[in-house]
Amino acid sequence: MFEITFLGTAASVPSTSRGLSSLLVEHGRQRFMIDCGEGTQRQLMASGLGFRRLDTILLTHGHLDHLLGLGGLAGTLNLWRATERLAIHAGPAPLRLARRLLEDVVWPDASPRLALEWRELAPGPFVTGPELTVSAFPVRHAAPDCFGFLFEETPRRHLIAERLDALGVPAGGERGRLAHGEAVTLPDGRRVEPEEVMGSERIGRRVAVVGDTESTDDLLEHVRGVDLLVIEATFLDQDRDKAKARSHLTVGQATALARDAGVGELWLNHQSPRYPAGAVEREARAGFGNVHVAADFDRVTVG
């Protein structure tokens, strides 16, 4: 199960209601922050999610509206000893920029207690665990070395609640062990095998997050069939010339990608204050049924 929390949904400059780009993807106890625009640490406080276990930051690209908050956030993580290490994953150019920000500006004279890990992204998987794989894929935008991210759960057979109830398996530890493929003995002495309570289908959720981008044809293969796609939609279709000139997408391009890729649920991010309330949503709904325009602190569960 994934939980995604939008911490900042503005394009380029913040507004009174939208912070600059950042969102959090949580899977079990693992947390991934994607982008860290100015003010992200305050958004994180306001969200109630807290700073614990925040040790991995992924950068989509090096534009300042996506990374300027890294200095302040890393400073606070270090001050509060909220984590012992902080891994920053980005393409070569944005990684150099983030490194200059932390090493030359935030800590020019002394090293932080926090162990900083600089991880250069290339296309392909870069987090591979028993439960989760995270991969990077290239994205075209007016900046070097841009990446999008695909989060994939390892497909597993799931417990069927009705069978558990019928057999009287209590909520708690027994169900957890069955989910991991272990047989359990109930308090009355009966033994329950995982085969008795598991469905045959293997299910693994998939979530894709794309930051700023100027094209969608190159993304199709990477986001095909995902349960949830987060992508920018900075302009309405009426402004497609501006979108092209500034290396961004229109709502129509984003919804067409979701249709063509057979995406389950679409969340539009990186919103411009230039449009009246509801305009982006109307255009989005005309293009794709299951679409949401992200607002700060929106939280969505995929599972």
**Residue 241 known to bind ligand:** no
**Region near Zn ion per CB under 5 A, out of 77-85, 93-101, 103-111, 205-213:** 205-213
- Residue 14 contacts residue 39 (beta carbons within 8 Å): yes
Q: Does 26 bind Zn ion (CB under 5 A)?
A: no
Token representation of residue 144: 């070097």
Per-residue HEC secondary structure of 154-167 comes to CCEEEECHHHHHHH
252-281 residues near Zn ion, rule: CB under 5 A: none
Q: Has 65 been annotated as catalytic?
A: yes
Smallest distance, Å, CB 32 to Zn ion? 19
Which one among 26, 38, 65, 174 touches Zn ion, defined by CB under 5 A? 65
Q: Does 38 bind Zn ion (CB under 5 A)?
A: no
Catalytic member of 35, 55, 65, 239:
65
Q: Does 27 bind Zn ion (CB under 5 A)?
A: no
231 CB neighbour count, 10 Å cutoff: 27
Smallest distance, Å, CB 36 to Zn ion? 12
Query: Cα separations (Å) of 211 from 63, 66, 188?
Result: 11, 9, 54
Residue 145 or residue 212: which is nearer to Zn ion going by CB?
212
Q: How many Å apart are CA 248 and CA 275, to the nearest integer?
A: 16
Q: Does 212 bind Zn ion (CB under 5 A)?
A: yes
**Residue 89 known to bind ligand:** no
Using a 10 angstrom Cβ sphere, with 0-12 exposed, 13-18 middle and 19 or more buried, the burial of residue 283 is: buried
Q: Which amino acid is at 250?
A: T
**Region near Zn ion per CB under 5 A, out of 43-51, 64-72, 159-167, 238-246:** 64-72
Q: How many Å apart are CA 161 and CA 184, to the nearest integer?
A: 16
Length of the chain: 303
Q: Which amino acid is at 156?
A: R
**Residue 217 known to bind ligand:** no
Residue 63 or residue 222: which is nearer to Zn ion going by CB?
63
Q: How many residues bind Zn ion (CB under 5 A)?
A: 3
Using a 10 angstrom Cβ sphere, with 0-12 exposed, 13-18 middle and 19 or more buried, the burial of residue 300 is: middle
Residue 68 or residue 302: which is nearer to Zn ion going by CB?
68
**Residue 212 known to bind ligand:** yes
Task: Show binding-site residues for Zn(2+).
Answer: 61, 63, 65-66, 141, 212, 270
Binding site members: 61, 63, 65-66, 141, 212, 270
Task: Name the residues annotated as catalytic.
Answer: 65
Residues forming the site for Zn ion (CB under 5 A): 63, 65, 212
